[in-house]
Amino acid sequence: SYGIETWKKIEVLGTLINSTYRHHQPQILATLVNEYTEWERPVQHPINTLHETMEALGDGLVVAPVMRTADLYSGSSFLYVFNHHLRVTQSPQKQGCVHGEELLYMFGVPLANSSNKTSFSHNFSKADVRLSKAVMTYWSNFARTGNPNKGQDHSPHHSQKTHKPSTEKWLPYDTVHKRYLLLDSRPS
């Protein structure tokens, strides 16, 4: 059986709060538990409680520091969210993609795998190949020019009418609009 009980969620979040904040710890804990609980559910299933806890931890330990860093360096930053989940790494209880999963796409594994040049046994889809080309292009353009938009275009998003690549401009992050590029393989 997978998941955690509500008392464990409160214990884990309490530990995070106690190691992060000096004041108002009970109020912060109550706020987090309230915010990261699906109150519409009549019964809190341990799997859902685990996912709620993981979301709270992810937001506190990853998302908030990333957003703070982006705010500090907003004049020259490009922010992205990689939201394409590789099917081979998916467990029945897993939501979203694994941290660092975009590295396979950055290094072109779906491209090499499509010609059987790698030891990866996963069959990558055409969408995986398109996404890998887009990620490699954005990163190489940024490395060459300081701007991911200057150079070649291999956007993963395609027009549903023509099935031809469309240009997805990656706008710089700023503190007002908080823009980011969503990298996934879904058609736009």
**pTM for this model (two decimals):** 0.73
Does 86 share its domain with 54? no
Provide the 3-class DSSP secondary structure of residue 103: helix
Report which residue type is found at 26: P
Domain final residue, candidates 72, 91, 115:
72
The pLDDT value given to residue 187 = 45
148 within a domain of the structure (yes/no):
yes
Does 122 share its domain with 162? yes
**Measured between alpha carbons, how far is 45 from 82 in angstroms, rounded to an integer?**
28
State the residue range of the domain holding 96: 76-183
pLDDT at 66 over 90: yes
188 within a domain of the structure (yes/no):
no
Q: Domains in the chain: how many in total?
A: 2
pLDDT at 162 over 50: no
Does 65 share its domain with 82? no
81-134 per-position pLDDT tens digit: 998 877 655 454 455 677 788 899 999 998 886 555 556 667 788 888 899 999
Does 88 share its domain with 63? no
Does 132 share its domain with 164? yes
67-71, 74-78, 95-99, 153-157: range with lowest mean pLDDT: 153-157
Does 62 share its domain with 80? no
58 within a domain of the structure (yes/no):
yes
The pLDDT value given to residue 63 = 93
Does 30 share its domain with 88? no
9-61 per-position pLDDT tens digit: 999 999 999 999 999 999 999 999 999 999 998 888 999 999 999 999 999 99
Whole-number Cα distances in Å, 58 to 50, 54, 163, 174, 177: 12, 6, 35, 22, 22
Domain final residue, candidates 49, 72, 95:
72
**Measured between alpha carbons, how far is 144 from 7 in angstroms, rounded to an integer?**
51
How many Cα atoms within 13 Å fall on the side-chain side of residue 162? Answer: 6
Does 22 share its domain with 60? yes
Does 65 share its domain with 84? no
Does 115 share its domain with 139? yes
Domain final residue, candidates 48, 72, 96:
72
Does 84 share its domain with 167? yes
The pLDDT value given to residue 157 = 53
